[in-house]
Amino acid sequence: MKLALAGVSHHQAPLALRERVAIDLHAAASLARRLASADGDGCEAVVLSTCNRTELYLARPADDGLTDRADRALLELAGADAASLAPVAYRLTDESAALHLFRVAAGLDSMIPGEAEILGQVRDAFTAGAPGPLLDRTFRMALHAGRRARVETAIGESPSSVPAAAAALAEQVFEGLADRKVVLVGAGRTSELTARNLLSRGAVVSVVANRSVERAERLASTLGARGVPLDQLPDAVAGADIVVSSTSAPGLVLTHAELSAALRGRRGRPLLFVDLAVPRDIDPALAELDGCFVYDVDDLEAVVASSLAGRRSEAVEAERIVSAEAERFASWRASLVVVPVITSLRARAEVIRSAELARVESRLENLSEGERAAVEALTTQIVNKLLHLPTVRLKEAAVTAHGLHYADVVRDLFGLGEEDE
């Protein structure tokens, strides 16, 4: 089985490029199913898309340009921006792709190391995707590595999430958040987490705006706010100190044209826009208005930088855990080469043992039931002992460069598969 990954992340691609390939979970699930079905039987696919990255994981029995297939599918998402995206995209295969996924699940590849959300996002992508035997094992081991990194180290301690960083940024801008009024745009998990972080620092959530008013009202009721539809945003924003937007809308939700008139009455009173959406919700041109400040997810990197020093030692330990899990994956994948050979070898030995017992059946007919059982046990034990060392050596060779050679030699020596031919 071959594993391939094509992706783009915050390490090389700015937000303007990442948002061109960002898709929601429903679209990621549809893409994974389409990729799996397009390449025939045995193809597997999982698509992971977050604010930091979009990655396509493909697997199938033979290579046959699998990496190119993943790369083309990624660039197709970018549409007209494919030429700009290609130089900053990365392509990984087999153990390198698995190690990358393990690091992602552990929060080691995130803009904010140890972020809390990524493990759940990896799990959701896996559940919604179209995995088969290889991607199922790969993602399960990645989730295990991510959980170990969080349980056995302190890499996940706050502030280690985008919502926490957003609240820290707001506190820096206003030099304290006591009684600052917050408007949330979007009623999803990110909005709720950001609101909780802001509330813990003294801010007040006054309005939750959402396309679905019912969802807005549900979240607002837990925050002591009121829920409104998106068309009431200009009035809500005009009285706010902080606007946090995190929707799954495909385009801008708060634009310069719609808000400029409503904001004139503020007369330069500071207004902080924090855009946590990918693609972006907030028009960057709003920063041109007097007193308005616009920050997006990439801007949060500077906020996080000051908190990294205390987590570096934990990241080192988390890297050790991930490396150990990646070695386990490599050993398992390598064993796939020799396991069929071992199975065939033991099956051939059992056929020979059974045939020889059947050949001398007439000489054994006077044996008691207990004596027959003893003969069965003895011959089985002889076969197991003869095959024990070759089995061990094959498994040991599987994790080396000679694994395939050993497997081919055993097939040739014992004529495995010749009966089928």
CATH number, domain containing residue 110: 3.30.460.30
95, 126, 158 - which closes a domain: 158
The verdict on 176 and 272 lying in the same domain is yes
The verdict on 154 and 166 lying in the same domain is no
Task: Report residue 86's pLDDT band, with 50, 70 and 90 as the boundaries.
Answer: very high
Contact assessment for residue 364 and residue 372, using Cβ atoms and an 8 Å cutoff: yes
Contact assessment for residue 253 and residue 281, using Cβ atoms and an 8 Å cutoff: yes
- Residues 46-58 have a mean pLDDT of 94
Tally of domains in the chain:
3
The verdict on 248 and 387 lying in the same domain is no
Instruction: For helices 189-200 and 213-223, give the axis angle rounded to 10 degrees.
Output: 20
User: What is the percent of the chain where pLDDT is above 90?
Assistant: 48
CA pair distance 164, 58, nearest whole angstrom:
33
The verdict on 363 and 272 lying in the same domain is no
The answer as to whether 322 is a domain residue is no
- Residues 51-67 have a mean pLDDT of 88
The answer, yes or no, to whether residue 400 has pLDDT greater than 70, is no
CA pair distance 159, 113, nearest whole angstrom:
10
Instruction: For residue 186, give the nearest of 143, 218, 158 by alpha carbon.
Output: 218
Q: SS3 helix, strand, coil % of the chain, rounded to 5?
A: 60, 15, 25
Task: Report residue 403's pLDDT band, with 50, 70 and 90 as the boundaries.
Answer: low
Predicted pLDDT of residue 409: 81
What would the two tokens of residue 196 be? 């909780």
CA pair distance 88, 24, nearest whole angstrom:
22
Instruction: For residue 39, give the nearest of 55, 56, 62 by alpha carbon.
Output: 62
The answer as to whether 321 is a domain residue is no
Contact assessment for residue 191 and residue 215, using Cβ atoms and an 8 Å cutoff: no
The answer, yes or no, to whether residue 153 has pLDDT greater than 90, is no
Beta strands in 79-132 (DSSP E): 90-93
**Is residue 208 within a helix (H) or strand (E), and if so which, with residue range?**
strand 204-210
**Catalytically annotated residue among 51, 116, 195, 338:** 51
142, 158, 174 - which closes a domain: 158
User: What is the percent of the chain where pLDDT is above 70?
Assistant: 92
CA pair distance 79, 77, nearest whole angstrom:
6
The verdict on 47 and 142 lying in the same domain is yes
The verdict on 136 and 168 lying in the same domain is no
What would the two tokens of residue 365 be? 């007919």
The verdict on 29 and 58 lying in the same domain is yes
The answer, yes or no, to whether residue 283 has pLDDT greater than 90, is yes
- Residues 55-83 have a mean pLDDT of 90
The answer as to whether 181 is a domain residue is yes
Instruction: For residue 36, give the nearest of 8, 10, 73 by alpha carbon.
Output: 73
51 is catalytic: yes
Task: Report residue 8's pLDDT band, with 50, 70 and 90 as the boundaries.
Answer: very high
Task: Report residue 421's pLDDT band, with 50, 70 and 90 as the boundaries.
Answer: very low
Task: Report residue 334's pLDDT band, with 50, 70 and 90 as the boundaries.
Answer: confident
CA pair distance 224, 73, nearest whole angstrom:
45
- Mean model confidence pLDDT for the chain: 87
158, 189, 207 - which closes a domain: 158
The verdict on 9 and 129 lying in the same domain is yes
The pTM assigned to this predicted structure is 0.66
The verdict on 80 and 209 lying in the same domain is no
CA pair distance 181, 366, nearest whole angstrom:
95
CA pair distance 398, 175, nearest whole angstrom:
60
The answer, yes or no, to whether residue 212 has pLDDT greater than 60, is yes
Structure confidence by residue, pLDDT tens digits, 123-141: 999 999 999 999 999 999 9
Enclosing domain of residue 287: 162-305
Task: Report residue 339's pLDDT band, with 50, 70 and 90 as the boundaries.
Answer: confident
Tell me which of 410 and 275 has the higher pLDDT.
Answer: 275
The answer as to whether 294 is a domain residue is yes
